[in-house]
Structure 1
Amino acid sequence: MSGKSIIQKDFFRESGKWLSTTEIWAKCANPNLHFTYLLRKSQQYPRKSFKGMFWRMILRHHQIKYGFQIYPETEIGEGLYLGHWGHLVINPKAKIGKNCNIAQGVTIGQANRGKNEGVPEIGNEVWIGPNAVVVGKIRIGNNVLIAPNAYVNFDVPGNSIAMGNPAQIIAKENATEGYINNKV
């Protein structure tokens, strides 16, 4: 598996199969996979190189087209899975681990004041449900499920579920079991 590209690892999460370049291109008919492909291509090249500028220009067009506000500067581990397309905002300084699922309507943003001023750091194998909001200089542990419509502005320990507004924490050993499939 170590010889696989990050794009192949992202696409593996969707199908559970290792795909050739042609098969990856065919899957790009799906808007969220298409955007993931363009994001990863724009992350491959230095910002000021010709290829870097080219892929960033293409990515910018598709950010507007699909409603994804994710920038190449954002540190995102392999195995990213965007469950649905549209209205997704991730601060470019946020850090996201590997094998993470992010649904539509999610905001991973910056708090501009208070004790948690800054941006989130999200661990591995985190599932973030539709319309969830994760803000501030907080740490989300590994194997965490953030329920739909949850508002999280504090650290969440690993192996837990965050639900509600404001979020409440429920300890659960296999919090993301059945939610995070085809891990890389």
Structure 2
Amino acid sequence: MGLFGQIYRDYRRYRATGGSWVLTLFFTQGFWASTVYRVNRWAVQRLRFRPLRLLAQVFLSPLNKLTEIVTGICIPASADIGEGMYIGHFGGIFFPSRGRLGRNCSVSQGVTIGQAGTGDKRGAPTIGDRVYIGPHAIVVGKITVGDDAAVCAGAVVTRPVPPRAVVAGNPARVISYDGSFEFICYDGMEGDPARLAALAAGAYPAPTSLGAAPAPALDPTLVNTGGGAP
């Protein structure tokens, strides 16, 4: 998808949640930050003529830094972020220079997504599609967060999160498999095959006699065995 297509998809996420075009364009810091990121990344990746790319960076680098100061949202051009990103509030939001955030994800205020680890274990998270990350959550390290997962407010995630899992606490533990469906809203979601397939799979763990997939194997340190939220 091209630059303007990505920006439009981001814009539609705000409109899908009820925001007017005036509010989105002129008063939504998250949309400002994502737009500057999109333009900056496009310039780095698509401008093949080196002098032109350097000229673009002369303008875009100060604009990117100004956006960070105004919004409190840091998104490096090297970050890989899918279209349809929604940042509901602003301030204290950090994305890593590596790693990936999938399509139609929602990121709240105070969220840190970062690198951690040493040696070959060092890296940044790979986050799937339609993932919700709640206020002041921390997701770090060379881990994978599956599609349709939800990270609750204040959770500290340092281990892989299965698809549809809802994690909470420090350290984060799986508290349900209800997924992020109640938190993610975007154009065409009612007919999105990937989302429909996830919904049809049902909440884990499910009886295999009903034809649903069994719960995926989990790291025992990630599972909440206390019967409730930590």
Percentage identity across paired residues of the two chains:
30
Matches within 5 A, 1:5-154: 5-16=5-16, 27-46=25-44, 48-113=53-118, 116-154=121-159
Does the 8 A contact of 1:28 with 1:37 survive in 2? no
Cα deviations across residues 85-136 of structure 1 (Å, max 9, x unaligned)?
1101111102110001011111111113388421111000000000100011
Which consecutive unaligned segments of at least 5 residues does structure 1 have?
18-22
Does the 8 A contact of 1:44 with 1:52 survive in 2? no
SS of 1:46's equivalent in the other structure is helix
| Distance in structure 1 (CA, Å) of the matches to 2:121 and 2:174 | 18
TM-score normalised over the length of structure 2: 0.70
The Cα shift of 1:24 comes to: 7.7
Q: Which residue of 2 aligns with 1:20?
A: none
Which consecutive unaligned segments of at least 5 residues does structure 2 have?
46-52, 189-230
Q: Which residue of 1 aligns with 2:183?
A: 179
SS of 2:44's equivalent in the other structure is coil
TM-score normalised over the length of structure 1: 0.87
Aligned length, in residue pairs: 178
State which drifts further: 87-96 or 38-47: 38-47
| Distance in structure 2 (CA, Å) of the matches to 1:167 and 1:133 | 10
Higher strand share: 1
State which drifts further: 65-74 or 46-55: 46-55
The Cα shift of 1:58 comes to: 0.6
The Cα shift of 1:29 comes to: 2.8
| Distance in structure 1 (CA, Å) of the matches to 2:176 and 2:132 | 15
The Cα shift of 1:181 comes to: 0.4
| Distance in structure 2 (CA, Å) of the matches to 1:14 and 1:69 | 19
Q: C-alpha root-mean-square deviation of aligned residues, in Å? A: 2.5
Choose between structure 1 and 2 for higher RCO, CA contacts under 8 A separated by at least 6 residues.
1
SS of 2:30's equivalent in the other structure is helix
Instruction: Determine which structure has more spread, i.e. the larger CA radius of gyration.
Output: 2
SS of 1:170's equivalent in the other structure is strand
